[in-house]
Amino acid sequence: MIVTKEKPLEEILGFLMPHKRILIVGCDGCTQPPRGVREAKTYAMLVEMGGKLKNREIQCRTTTVAKQCDNNLCATTLTSQVKDIEAILSLACGVGVQTLSEVFPDIPVYPGQNTIFIGSQERESGTLYEKCKACGDCLLAETGGVCPITRCAKQLLNGPCGGQAKGKCEVGGWKNDCAWILIYNRLKDKGRLSEFTKFREQRDFRISQSPREINETEEKTEETP
């Protein structure tokens, strides 16, 4: 099970203000509480109203995907819907945001949620790749859709370090891609290198201190946007 909590509207507007045409994508998969098309429409209303209050016209369209963590499903479902879109707001977990960023590398993809808890699911076969640690403070909006908390072995917020060579990380015997080289290339392709040079202060580890507990009753009673 994956539990998410909505980001503050003001933070979301900060991501979206440079853009005019936004596609808000819900996820019908495993996030709790559900973040499907109904929630996407609510976000669209709030984002458009928030834009008007800032004298900025933002046009939102909404859709949903059965599972945003499925590359093929995202491509087949959304390709026809993003032709005139300037940015995507994902209501999925951090894995979904990264998947959309990989499927549509030319379109900025922003997180509408903070992923705060990820449970486990056993599978008889197949490979799973960890991409989100549910840190509770999603950075994907400013790292090009690549999570440094998960994909950097040292969890650096300002990188790369001196332990990379030819884009590979020293941890693990030079087999894994350096997350910060991936972030640099992604932001460079998008013309957003100013975000790469931004200094990020140390994380507040209290919000992801382990072991964590999630009270499903309390989560369900919380108001959503």
- CATH code of residue 8: 3.40.50.1860
| Domain of 8, in residue numbers | 1-119+132-139
Q: Considering the domain boundaries, does residue 156 fall inside one?
A: yes
pLDDT tens digits for 66-109?
A: 999 999 999 999 999 999 999 999 999 999 999 999 999 999 99
- Between strands 113-118 and 2-6, the pairing is antiparallel
pTM of the model: 0.84
Please list the ranges in the chain whose pLDDT falls under 70: 119-128, 216-225
Asked whether residue 218 is domain-assigned, the answer is: no
Classify residue 5: in a domain, yes or no.
Answer: yes
Assigned domain for 47 exists? yes
Distance in angstroms (rounded) separating the CA atoms of residues 137 and 123: 28
pLDDT confidence of residue 216: 64
Let me know whether 105 and 26 are in one domain: yes
Structural domain count, the chain: 2
Residue after which a domain boundary falls, among 105, 139, 173:
139
101-120: per-residue pLDDT in tens? 999 999 999 999 999 887 64
Question: Is 94 in the same domain as 44?
Answer: yes
Burial class for 22, CB neighbours closer than 10 Å (0-12, 13-18, 19+)? buried
pLDDT at 41: 98
